[in-house]
Structure 1
Amino acid sequence: MLLMKSCTKATTAWLNTEEYKELNFAREKLVINPAKACQPLGALLCALGVEGCLPFTHGSQGCTAYFRSTLSRHFREPVASVSDSMTEDSAVFGGQTNLIEGLKNAHALYKPKVIAVYTSCMAEVIGDDIKAYLGNAKQADAIPQEFPVALANTPSFKGSHITGYDTMLKGLIECLATPRQADKINDRLYVVPGFDTYTANLREYKRILKLMKAPFTLLPDNSDVFDAPNLGTYQLYPGGTPLTEMNDALNAAQYLFLQTFSSPTTSKYLASLDVPVETISMPMGIAGMDKFVESVAKFTGEGVPEEITFERGLAIDAMTDSHQYIHGKKFALFGDPDLLIGLVTFLLEMGGLPVHIVCTNSTPTFKKAMESLLASSPYGQEATLYAGKDLWHLRSLLVTEPVDMLLGDSHGKWAARDANIPLVRIGFPITDRVNIHRSPIIGYSGVINLITMIVNTFLDEVDRNSTEAHFEMMR
């Protein structure tokens, strides 16, 4: 037993060395704890943001259980989704029988207004043609001919959850929207939040858009799905983007995409149909939110309401009151591309020093954008973006090149503990804390919330580590 403990201690010490970090970063084939999920999970999240939509996994029941449990643990809400339960025989003979029977049962039992079908690994590996299968299902009267079924090919073995979100969004628009007609262009701004697991963010967008008197549609909108009030009865399909507005989606006056990297396919599809499209970064930090307000004001042709100016002033005041707690502090971050751009923008505004930035689902476009952002500020000069790296790479960085704080989701807690630094939970999934998704991190109110989370965590650490002589009332 003593020998085992000695060996374990020696191994742990070696894992914290520069020698091990070099070996860790030299690996090419093995991935350890990537900071991303698979495509179908993103497709499911997207589908739940449309009125009366039932997400449908063409794949195994276990895959659907994983997607549902992951989302349920983050939101602490039930997640409606079905599967056609493909098994070993489907891998040999194909999944057409499963899909046809599954669509028939789902339509009869759950009475959705639309079904969103997306694929898992098994269906993609064997090459199932879900478009042909859907046609056969309608010919067999499994579902009515006119019943809308959106389709998305979402192989789990490439891309990530944001890829699946994008593919499903395009599939829903293709399925539900009528063709664009010059004489039927509506006056609405269609706002696409991107893969966003903060229900408070979505509600904040809607609040600001209403304040600015913009006729808008949030597409998709799952805020009521994942943050429904407990009124004593369960609703299978609460909220979502109305189907009437989905039908008119291609006649939009303009689209405004609020994430650059989570919806490029949908954005290009709309542009190809001559739908006006603008894409901005996730509106985090003062500069990010300013850009959002400017874009909406340009669309409406109206000035910025006093309420918005007042809220901006509150955020600036909060930054002034607390910048000394963040200025010069070193941070490590991990997460999705759009979230990282937003967080780094905020940190640079506060004088924080992003040092290690890990993005498993990075792209060349994101890499260029992040490096440009870092180069624009004196506080970004120490930063390195680790594109395509995972959380085991991040651990090596934290124990060999220490920072003051880690920003990321709950998966970062082990690396943070090994490095003896605090973790502020931002992103998805957050499964070991409650209600974080109910406070916005976008907008001017989001600036205040980020400051509050980060600074108070630092102050908690100061109190926790203070000697008796320095355990002060004022910080």
Structure 2
Amino acid sequence: MAQNNVNDIQDHARLFHQDEYQELFKAKKEFEGGHSSEEVAKIADWTKSWEYREKNFAREALTVNPAKACQPLGAILAAVGFEATLPFVHGSQGCVAYFRSHFTRHFKEPFSAVSSSMTEDAAVFGGQLNMIEGLATSYNLYKPKMIAVCTTCMAEVIGDDLQAFISNAKAANSVPQTFPVPYAHTPSFVGSHITGYDNMIKGILSNLTAGKKQETTNGKINFIPGFETYIGNLREIKRYADLMDVNYTLLADNSEYLDSPNTGEYQMYPGGTKLEDAADSINAEATIAFQSYATTKTREYIETEWSQKTYVSRPVGIRGTDEFLMKLSALTGKPIPKELEEERGRAVDALTDSQAWLHGKRIALYGDPDLVIGLVQFLLEVGAEPIHIVVSNSNANFEGELRALLDSSPFGQNATIWGGKDLWHLRSLLFTEPVDLLIGNSYGKYLWRDTKTPLVRIGYPIFDRHHLHRYSTYGYQGAINLLNWIVNTLLDELDRNTIIPSKTDISYDLIR
């Protein structure tokens, strides 16, 4: 085969078009007794119909490509936001390998996490020995300051008790008695990655802050990002707080870990919230969470156990950013600086420049609850019309909040919220009720291919484009970024549709 010629190494996109591979594919199809091309095309056309849509939406026992991941994924993202913290997944090695590769593909950075490597014997007799040996190995080999433990399906199905296992591991001198080993039970068969994030943040804070409550506050504001995969958002929040001279603690600051500089010197644990700062967060003036549904249990814990006020603020678009800055100013007494007023003006100017291209455009979008609310808020600001909104990890509170937002604008009146549905449901929606634009993560490229609906990649994961995670979607600059991605996707599509000389190029214009 040509691939064996070192002077002519083929890219995989071209390699499998070579004759020998095409012959293999043909033989494979014949061996499997596959249907004819005509029959495949006939069924494919039927799946675009209203008849198929009704059957598709009637299914109950099958999920096809849900727009969510499992709890441990969120738990380990929360863990690496703290100083020198090693995520420890109590379960099989395959699970943690999947989580690590998922983050590495998105962030293009190495992601460290270990496993208790449970196998068949542990599934029968329990994983306590795996925990005892695993914590000892992790502590001695990787030298962390904290090990954060979560679970997978196997450990949860057999009922492993993390609190007891960690206590027994410390009694066996796997780690020192005073060494912090917070934990969270994160069964993959319920909830989603945002549930796992919430569970782990609560577990870490309850561990680090135990016995640290003081009579007076430390004068700080706590920020909790939520399951945040745009590193630019964390840096934008810190920049805003610094410009306003606000004393703050960003709880789970993974911006350096997931976007560390290449200096030629390896660091296993770059950045992260200092453990002593996290421990002192119990004494803050207030806590602001930037995602509601990824911090539900954590905020309840903070209000109940710490007697500390919590707020939710989504600084997306002009309105969302205004509300965040005014809330921060009200809590701290700090004025909003002129520099941010000027940034606001530039964002408003940019939206004004592009609004005519977005007004009335029909949009389908999918993603996590808080991401979707922020995007819908932005779309309504520019006069776009959300039509299909798919949220696989939905709940009643989220749908009520989103419905109220949609009802507050004339541009939201035609929207339908499809809670608990998946991307195969969305495919039926796009064929039967077409829209102008689709917004979502990389998995939407299959919908783009099938339905020819142009895709704007916003969300997590983004595997097939580079560096989008380095930008912000928060703040006034984030509004410009969102505008840039959305309006230029529409203009790219307009160019593609007017590109044929002497046929469609009457409006193939250099001025858009």
Gaps of 5+ in 2: 1-29, 499-503
- In structure 2, the residue matched to 1:354 is 386
- In structure 2, the residue matched to 1:468 is 505
Aligned runs of 1:67-466 on 2, under 5 Å?
67-466=99-498
Could you tell me whether the CA contact under 8 Å between 2:282 and 2:306 is conserved in 1? no
1:38 aligns with 2:75: no
Q: Return the letter of the residue paired with 1:357.
A: I
Summarize deviations over 1:433-471 as a string: whole Å, max 9, x none: 000011101111111001111111111111111123322
Could you tell me whether the CA contact under 8 Å between 2:394 and 2:419 is conserved in 1? yes
Summarize deviations over 1:169-196 as a string: whole Å, max 9, x none: 0110111114353424211101111110
Which of 21, 39, 51 matches 1:19? 51
Shift, 1:162, TM fit: 0.3
Q: How big is the alpha-carbon RMSD for the aligned residues of Structure 1 and Structure 2?
A: 1.2
Structure 1 window deviating more from structure 2 (290-299 vs 155-164): it is: 290-299
Query: For 1:445 and 1:413, how far apart are their aligned partners in 2?
Result: 26
Could you tell me whether the CA contact under 8 Å between 2:288 and 2:313 is conserved in 1? no
Question: How many matched pairs?
Answer: 475
Shift, 1:307, TM fit: 0.7
Summarize deviations over 1:72-130 as a string: whole Å, max 9, x none: 00001000100010011111000000000000000000000000000000000000011
Gaps of 5+ in 1: none
Query: For 1:10 and 1:223, how far apart are their aligned partners in 2?
Result: 49
User: What TM-score, normalized to structure 2?
Assistant: 0.91
Query: For 1:71 and 1:228, how far apart are their aligned partners in 2?
Result: 14
Query: For 2:75 and 2:176, how far apart are their aligned partners in 1?
Result: 24
Query: For 1:55 and 1:135, how far apart are their aligned partners in 2?
Result: 18
Rg larger for: 2
Query: For 2:420 and 2:215, how far apart are their aligned partners in 1?
Result: 46
Aligned to 2:379, the other structure's residue is in SS state helix
Q: Return the letter of the residue paired with 2:473.
A: I
Structure 1 window deviating more from structure 2 (236-245 vs 462-471): it is: 462-471
Query: For 2:192 and 2:184, how far apart are their aligned partners in 1?
Result: 14
Q: Return the letter of the residue paired with 2:192.
A: S
When residues 110 and 330 of structure 1 are mapped into structure 2, their CA distance, relative to the original with a 3 A threshold, is: same
Aligned to 2:257, the other structure's residue is in SS state helix
Summarize deviations over 1:238-274 as a string: whole Å, max 9, x none: 0000111012121112111111111010100010124
Query: For 1:86 and 1:134, how far apart are their aligned partners in 2?
Result: 16
Aligned runs of 1:4-15 on 2, under 5 Å?
4-15=36-47
User: What TM-score, normalized to structure 1?
Assistant: 0.98
Summarize deviations over 1:392-444 as a string: whole Å, max 9, x none: 00000001100001000001111122111110000000000000011101111
Q: Return the letter of the residue paired with 1:115.
A: I
Aligned to 1:226, the other structure's residue is in SS state coil
Query: For 2:213 and 2:96, how far apart are their aligned partners in 1?
Result: 38
Shift, 1:340, TM fit: 0.3
Shift, 1:275, TM fit: 3.3
Query: For 1:274 and 1:121, how far apart are their aligned partners in 2?
Result: 31
Query: For 2:278 and 2:473, how far apart are their aligned partners in 1?
Result: 27
Percent identical among aligned pairs is: 53
Shift, 1:339, TM fit: 0.2
Could you tell me whether the CA contact under 8 Å between 1:213 and 1:300 is conserved in 2? no
Structure 1 window deviating more from structure 2 (338-347 vs 256-265): it is: 256-265
Query: For 2:309 and 2:481, how far apart are their aligned partners in 1?
Result: 30
Q: Return the letter of the residue paired with 1:326.
A: L
Could you tell me whether the CA contact under 8 Å between 1:49 and 1:241 is conserved in 2? yes
